[in-house]
Structure 1
């Protein structure tokens, strides 16, 4: 089977999932012939992906999300304005994606939450079947819990998610645990795709330090406040403002520059983790048996959902602040067998992903682009 990837280039999550699936396909004797990666003028293909992905990579312009520079909160209004401003170059990108698919002629296209994929299949209808993979597709599952009082953000999130998957044969929704499939949405629930570096780690449980991953400026201030309230608790924190690999603040607090490999090494040894509610990082912690304090980014509906769902699954506890007391209470009731169950669920992924791709290439008729297709085509051409 020849497989072509379409990958959202923003953040690490979808890119690492693509690397993980490429490993599965290689082990099964299939060929990943390349990846189309959505980029902007300010965001190129990340180096870690370019270095590890062994097939050709085609960068294609795709409108990105806009965050508030001060709070790092998602700004839906500015994100929408950006999308409207870039309609014409976006239309050219769709044509480029369609042409690349038809030239390369893969057996199946796998789309990792890139809007270029859904809109290309809605408007230009490539002849190659597409399968979409992302945790975000759990938004279409009836059992998926959502935060209250965020109607606007929920609708914006659902619309963006729907735009990524028009014309897909199946939606593979990555989940913390097994859930029933939802045939009406073409949705199948599958395990997380974890990078090989995580699955090869040997976790230890003999140390007493907390590990924090801080990207928001406001969360760094909260970290310092929490440290002052718990001076006896040793804590290592990775954040972008660290002045070096090991910036010692005092006897119990050390900052570290962002380093993916070192962070995983610390994760394997820590007793618990404080981080935002990104799906990938929480799954990595669950695989290693580490409790998590999940702090969603402001206005980030997806992370708010992740925190609620992660709490339901028992992998962590949700919080709006850097509340170490809440983490301590959760650790007292954390199920140490969770990691074993999570690993068993993760192991099923090899067969579930291959089965989905095999179903996609079977001749069962053309996928539908849906009612949205004609109107969007008219807007993009105008």
Structure 2
């Protein structure tokens, strides 16, 4: 079987999941990756055969989406041409992980495809939403990368086509301990803004993973580290807690490890607000922004009990097997 796997690279989560899925997908045939976007900080090692600037996300220094820059970088003519040129018709199975160009290519060429990943779960009305729905956000989740069928991933199995997160093998095999430090990954914020708050809590060591850091450095009680998959895994396995956005992969891993978790949804990103609604069911602390009282919020959070642990009901191997069965069914 020839498998075309379109991976969104507007963040690290999609790529981290693709790296985990690849060995299982390769059991069914050859896999060619289409990597779309340029916001990821991870070195992939994936068999990338096709690449595009895609539709990338950019952030202001205060943590919200920079819509002006996103629109400035968007080129409709380029996107249309790339969609027409992608050879999706030469593959037996097309997987689309919230990637719009491959989805458009399949639509133009009338090729069936499988919408796979976290965003696919929002095709179900049973997936958690915030108290106030956002019409534009709902539209993006449903129509940004429309597919023939869907296999969704979420914190719980909210519907029959939704399965648990794909957890990295390094996390699955880990023996978590608490060595005292707090791990931070908030790429939507400027490092200096964060450091100002964390250095006030002098009795707690922090490890700040920075999208701009080239090499490790220290500032008072804060170790500043470049984004690196292995280093980050080691940090979260051995930390007392994690402060991060309300994405999907990282919070899922922290909940699986049973660690303390504080999440700050990226402003203007509706999916993260939906995730925040789901995370509250696990007793995760969720706040709206880094404000002047952020230092006090962290101190208070450090006293909270750990959230409910994430339970896995399906292995990665089983999830991939179900996706491959879907691929056979939609081929007709």
> TM-score of the superposition, structure 2-length normalised?
0.86
Distance (whole Å) between structure 2 residues aligned to residue 38 and residue 293 of structure 1: 29
- In structure 1, the residue matched to 2:88 is 101
- In structure 2, the residue matched to 1:375 is none
- In structure 2, the residue matched to 1:163 is 143
Question: Do the aligned partners of residues 278 and 333 (structure 1) sit closer, same or farther apart at CA in structure 2, a change above 3 Å counting?
Answer: closer
Shift of 1:193: 1.9
SS at structure 1 position matched to 2:281 = helix
- In structure 1, the residue matched to 2:32 is 34
- In structure 2, the residue matched to 1:147 is 130
- In structure 1, the residue matched to 2:219 is 249
- In structure 1, the residue matched to 2:173 is 200
Q: Does 1:354 align with 2:321?
A: yes
Distance (whole Å) between structure 2 residues aligned to residue 333 and residue 139 of structure 1: 27
Distance (whole Å) between structure 2 residues aligned to residue 35 and residue 71 of structure 1: 33
Q: Does 1:211 align with 2:211?
A: no
Instruction: Say which one has the larger Rg.
Output: 1
Question: In the alignment, is the contact (CA less than 8 A) between 1:4 and 1:108 conserved in 2?
Answer: yes
Shift of 1:333: 5.2
SS at structure 2 position matched to 1:37 = strand
Distance (whole Å) between structure 2 residues aligned to residue 80 and residue 155 of structure 1: 19
> What does 1:242-281 align with in structure 2 at a 5 Å threshold?
242=213, 244-245=215-216, 247-250=217-220, 252-281=221-250
The CA deviation string for residues 146-168 of structure 1, in whole angstroms up to 9 with x for no partner, is: 3345x5xx3333333333443x3
SS at structure 1 position matched to 2:167 = coil
- In structure 2, the residue matched to 1:317 is 285
The CA deviation string for residues 22-49 of structure 1, in whole angstroms up to 9 with x for no partner, is: 12223xx31233112224xxx3987722
Segments of 5+ residues of structure 1 without an aligned counterpart are 182-187, 366-382
> TM-score of the superposition, structure 1-length normalised?
0.76
Q: Which has the higher helix share?
A: 1
Question: In the alignment, is the contact (CA less than 8 A) between 1:5 and 1:32 conserved in 2?
Answer: no
Question: Do the aligned partners of residues 45 and 93 (structure 1) sit closer, same or farther apart at CA in structure 2, a change above 3 Å counting?
Answer: farther
The CA deviation string for residues 234-281 of structure 1, in whole angstroms up to 9 with x for no partner, is: 222222455741x2322x333223332212111111011111122111
Question: Do the aligned partners of residues 79 and 272 (structure 1) sit closer, same or farther apart at CA in structure 2, a change above 3 Å counting?
Answer: same
- In structure 2, the residue matched to 1:48 is 43
Question: In the alignment, is the contact (CA less than 8 A) between 1:3 and 1:106 conserved in 2?
Answer: yes
Aligned residue among 37, 59, 80 for 1:91: 80
Question: Do the aligned partners of residues 15 and 236 (structure 1) sit closer, same or farther apart at CA in structure 2, a change above 3 Å counting?
Answer: closer
RMSD of equivalent CA atoms: 2.7
How many residues are treated as equivalent by the alignment?
Answer: 326
